[in-house]
């Protein structure tokens, strides 16, 4: 394009109309001056402003891209590193974590600076990111391992608040090759913190403030196994499982699913253990079903709000659900082996007389059982 002889030779075999079109294109490249201005500054705030203004008419560079630019070196590319992490976590159902750029930014700022506020992002520098990268990634991996092993959560989809990862990274972040180990006292306190954070909806608002408090608490627990990090207020409404409806996108539903998962549930008809890893990794709504079937209750005149309350749901594989369909509980009980029935109901946190109750009696009685279990988790 810029070599006159080579350009002429390259265009010899084109029709005249095509040559004219290419000439016009060449003129634009040869005659246009591209303005460039060199700016040297140690203030990343100024850099951010320049990026924002330059891209105002195009695609703006977001905070994560700035973070990638600040930390870049010939040996370190943050995006490439995180692509590797995503591929590694995908095997465990947590690939979405490495793709959540806002969450990752908070993991970095939280671990390095103890804060996740926008102001904290501007205080990061490339050297700090590179120096702490391996510790933070180890913290993320160990956090995932903790959620899987201690809470039977096998997908980011069913973690009630993804923001919890940021606080856990503050505890699990380490330069040790095999990750951060923890004592039994630390395990119990972390589990209690998890449940109290869920039921108190701790990360529904004021997330940056909650992170600052929790990150500091996690660091104390890391040094002292007797540290209490979950003494914030947490009261569960009396009819929690009756007034909240089942929807996989709701925090309260995710908390409910995590509760059921912690009891190693069995499928209602077969009595087989629910494969939580496969079920939760797939994020499959077909593995959750009404105990009192929807169509059965609709025939009795119940509205959808009552039918879809949390207290009427359990883990149930699709094959067993096809056998139940719209049968009344006192009818499909005959499909269940009487020897395994007590254990099925126990693991589902259901009354032992579930199949002898009418719907209102069942919901009220199960809500009470679920409340007792939930309160045991937060205490």
**How many whole angstroms separate alpha carbon 190 and alpha carbon 195?**
9
Mean pLDDT (whole number) for 330-346: 93
Burial class (CB in 10 A: 0-12, 13-18, 19+), 80: exposed
Could you write out the three-class secondary structure of 205-260?
CCHHHHHHHHHHHHHHHHHCCCCCCCCCCCCCCCCHHHHCECCCCCHHHHHHHHHH
Cα 161 to Cα 31, 166, 204, 255, 349: the distances in Å are 55, 10, 8, 9, 24
Q: What is the pLDDT of residues 57-81, one digit of tens each?
A: 555 556 777 778 778 777 888 888 8
| Residue in 176, 110, 105 with CA at minimum distance from that of residue 141 | 176
Specify burial of residue 145 (Cβ count, 10 A radius: 0-12, 13-18, 19+).
middle
Cβ count near 238 (within 10 Å)? 11
What pLDDT, on the 0 to 100 scale, is given for residue 123?
Answer: 82
Q: Is residue 294 exposed (0-12), middle (13-18) or buried (19+ Cβ within 10 Å)?
A: middle
Please report, to the nearest 10 degrees, the dihedral formed by the alpha carbons of residues 307, 308, 312, 318 taken in order: 110
Per-residue model confidence as pLDDT tens digits over 5-34: 898 889 888 999 999 999 988 888 887 787
User: pLDDT of 161-207, one tens digit each?
Assistant: 999 999 999 999 999 888 889 999 999 999 999 999 999 999 999 99
Three-state DSSP at 176 gives coil
CA 65 to chain centroid, in Å, comes to: 21
Phi, psi torsion values for 76, nearest 5 degrees: -140, 120
Q: What is the mean pLDDT of the chain?
A: 89
Token readout for 342 is 């007590």
- pLDDT digit string (tens) for 128-138? 889 999 999 99
The confidence score (pLDDT) of residue 182 equals: 95
Strands 288-290 and 313-315: antiparallel
Q: Is the separation of the CB atoms in 281 and 155 below 8 Å?
A: yes
pLDDT at position 60: 56
pLDDT of 55 > 60? The answer is: no
Tokens found for residue 76: 């370190």
The Cα 17–Cα 268 span in angstroms is 75
Phi first, then psi, for residue 338 (nearest 5°) are -60, -25
Please, which residues have CB within 8 angstroms of residue 157's CB and are 6 or more apart in sequence?
A: 93, 96, 248, 280, 283
């Amino acid at each position: 394009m810029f070599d006159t002889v080579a350009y002429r030779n390259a265009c010899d075999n084109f029709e005249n109309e095509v040559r004219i079109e290419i000439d016009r294109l060449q003129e634009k490249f040869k005659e246009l001056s591209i303005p460039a201005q060199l700016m040297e500054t140690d203030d990343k705030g100024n850099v951010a402003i320049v990026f924002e203004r330059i891209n105002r008419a195009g695609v703006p560079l977001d905070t994560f891209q700035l973070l990638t630019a600040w930390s870049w070196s010939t040996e370190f590319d943050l995006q490439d590193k995180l692509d590797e992490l995503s591929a590694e976590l995908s095997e465990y159902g947590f690939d979405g974590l490495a793709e959540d750029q806002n969450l990752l930014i908070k993991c970095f700022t939280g671990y390095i600076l103890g804060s996740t506020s926008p102001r904290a992002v501007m205080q990061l520098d490339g050297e700090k990111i590179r120096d702490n990268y391996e510790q933070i990634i180890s913290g993320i991996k160990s956090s995932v391992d903790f959620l899987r092993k201690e809470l039977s959560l096998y997908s980011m989809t069913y973690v009630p608040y993804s923001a919890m990862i940021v606080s856990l990274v503050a505890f699990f972040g380490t330069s040790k090759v095999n990750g951060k180990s923890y004592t039994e006292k630390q395990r119990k306190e972390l589990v209690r913190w998890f449940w109290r954070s869920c039921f108190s909806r701790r990360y529904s608002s004021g997330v940056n403030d909650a992170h600052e408090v929790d990150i500091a608490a996690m660091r104390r627990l890391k040094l002292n196994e007797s540290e209490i990090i979950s003494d914030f207020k947490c009261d569960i409404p009396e009819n929690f499982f009756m007034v909240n409806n089942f929807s996989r996108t709701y925090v309260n539903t995710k908390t409910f699913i995590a509760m059921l998962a912690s009891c190693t549930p069995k499928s209602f008809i077969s009595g087989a253990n629910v494969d939580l890893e496969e079920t939760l990794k797939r994020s499959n709504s077909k593995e959750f079903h009404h105990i009192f079937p929807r169509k059965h209750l609709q025939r009795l005149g119940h509205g959808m709000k009552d039918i879809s309350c949390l207290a009427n749901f359990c883990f149930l594989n699709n094959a067993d659900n096809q056998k139940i369909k719209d049968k009344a509980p006192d009818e499909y009980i005959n499909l269940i082996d009487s020897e395994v029935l007590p254990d099925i109901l126990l693991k589902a946190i259901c009354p032992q007389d579930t199949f002898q109750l009418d719907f209102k009696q069942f919901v009220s009685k199960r809500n009470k059982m679920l409340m007792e279990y939930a309160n045991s988790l937060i205490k």
